[in-house]
Amino acid sequence: MLAHPARAVGAIVTRELRRYLSQRARFLAALVRPLIWLLVFAAGFRAALGLSIIAPYQTYITYETYILPGLCGMILLFSGMQSSLSLVHDRESGAMRLLLTAPLPRWFLLGAKLLAGAVVGLVQVAAFLLIAALYGIKLTWIGVISALPALILCALMLCALGLLLSARVRQLENFAGVMNFVIFPMFFLSTALYPLWKMQESSEFLAWLCRVNPFTHAVELIRFALYGQLNLPALGWTVLALIVFFGLAVWGYEPARSRVSR
């Protein structure tokens, strides 16, 4: 009874992985962006901000180590948007319509696409962490393993956001602007590059935007998990964002909603 759904999930995930691995330029682009932040911009930010960060785990860390979770979140954020771009392309080519006519619940098929996008993002994060370790960023196997559930949850949440966007955007040419409108505010209005107290020194309003940004909670969940700690508020907000984004995406992909949108 469970063999058919399992085969469907396996086929969808395998298809996305094969398509991603065949696009070498996409793989390199996904790594170059965070590596530039890690290798180049980190030195400038550290000098400009003068950060002496005492993290919640009460240990001194370098600025490169501080922004590492944020860069992992950046990879997952861009990967989620890229997966939604592929969904829009599949819908234009008719592949998405064929998928959604399969004899399985619509939410299950969309959940399989969500899982496939998350797997692709996790592959990119694994390659980035390997390069960061070779660069000299101190990582422990225990920290990486403890961060894996947080990375999976954050990947699902951000892919659910991409799935929601793909339900609303109908044409590929309109998607680039939407991606920029979502990616850059989410990334810069978060704790990916600097602590919340640093933002609060500049503006209370910007600090409030950082607090309500789901990407902030995703980054903090990863940051705590890398040191073997569980940030319960960040976990709760990330799970809530995943449920809301996925629920709205399923609602947006209902046939009746699609006809009304057109």
Instruction: Show the tokens assigned to 122.
Output: 């996790």
- In the prediction, which pLDDT does 83 show? 81
Residue 99 has pLDDT above 70, yes or no: yes
What pLDDT band is residue 81 in, cutting at 50, 70 and 90? confident
Q: What is the 3-state secondary structure (H, E, C) of 8-56?
A: HHHHHHHHHHHHHHCCHHHHHHHHHHHHHHHHHHHHHHHHHHCCCCECC
Instruction: Show the tokens assigned to 39.
Output: 């290798």
pTM reported for the whole predicted model: 0.85
Distance of CA 89 to the CA centre of its chain: 20
- pLDDT tens for 20-75 read 777 777 777 778 888 888 877 766 665 555 554 444 444 446 777 788 899 999 99
What single-letter amino acid sits at 215? F
Which domain does 118 fall in, by range?
Answer: 3-261
Residue 98 has pLDDT above 90, yes or no: no
- Let me know: does 138 contact 66? Beta carbons within 8 Å: no
What single-letter amino acid sits at 214? P
Characterize 180-205 residue by residue with b for buried, 16 or more Cβ atoms within 10 angstroms of its Cβ, and e for exposed: eebbeebbbbbbbbbbeeebeeeeee
- Let me know: does 49 contact 193? Beta carbons within 8 Å: no
How many distinct structural domains can be found in the chain? 1
Mean pLDDT for the stretch of residues 104-115: 85
- pLDDT tens for 150-192 read 999 999 999 999 888 887 776 666 666 777 788 888 998 998 8
